[in-house]
Amino acid sequence: MSTGTHSEQSLTPGARRILDVASELFYWRGINAVGVDTIAAESGVTKRTLYDRFGSKDNLVAAYLEARDRRWRDTVTARLRDAPPDPVARVLVPFDALPEWLAPSTRGCGFSNAFAELPDADHPGRRIAVAEKTWLRALFRDLLTEAGAADGNDVEALATQLLSLHEGAVISYAVANDDSAVAAARAAAKVLVTGALPGPLADQPSSR
């Protein structure tokens, strides 16, 4: 997605180091708790260099979230490329991507965390957080439509239900320290998806 922030490919080595350090600090300590002084010091650069590269802390926050968003979308897209043709399995791919994604992310969803910390609707980072959830809901809708769930079903409502299960799994994993949350959410999602597909497809066993 394009947000007007620096693309990772165009970053200088110094800017790349600043972004890497800022990303760790923002995720683990919180966006509002981390100032540019700390980021500059831990990156081994001056504040002037940080501002020269990113312009403002807001732009750096947006760059952090944009990079995280790109990695998440790439993770899901790669799994979709490798997914079997089974329609139920394809709809459930975003759930299958979660264990790998969550393993190093014990503070929960970086996008939801950022949304909570950035009350200004016009903040570029908040817009990226919103766009990530909107994208995932649209992906569920598109996968459901490809699977044949459109006839006689409210695909938009079902996509929202799948997104809610997905986000709930992330919260339960992080906040409730529940390692079974993803599997439980996937099982519930499978029931919803299977019930929404045409008879012959619903009767086929999912590959997972």
pLDDT digits (tens, 9 = 90+) for 155-186: 999 999 999 999 999 999 999 999 999 999 99
pLDDT value at 135 more than 50 = yes
Interatomic CA distance for residues 185 and 128, integer angstroms: 25
Q: In percent, how much of the chain has pLDDT > 70?
A: 90
pLDDT value at 5 more than 70 = no
Residue 54: C-alpha distances to residues 26, 31, 100, 140, 207 (Å) = 15, 16, 30, 34, 46
> How many separate helices (H) and strands (E) can be counted in the chain?
12, 0
pLDDT band at 7 (very low <50, low <70, confident <90, very high): low
Instruction: Name which of 22, 62, 66 is nearest 41 in CA terms.
Output: 22
Interatomic CA distance for residues 28 and 35, integer angstroms: 13
pLDDT of the residue at 198: 81
pLDDT of the residue at 150: 74
* H/E segment holding residue 156: helix 155-175
pLDDT value at 2 more than 60 = no
Count CB neighbours of 191 within 10 A.
Answer: 9
Q: What are the structural domains of the chain?
A: 7-55 (1.10.10.60), 64-202 (1.10.357.10)
| Amino acid present at 176 | A
Quick: pLDDT tens for 57-92. Answer: 999 999 999 999 999 999 999 999 999 999 999 999
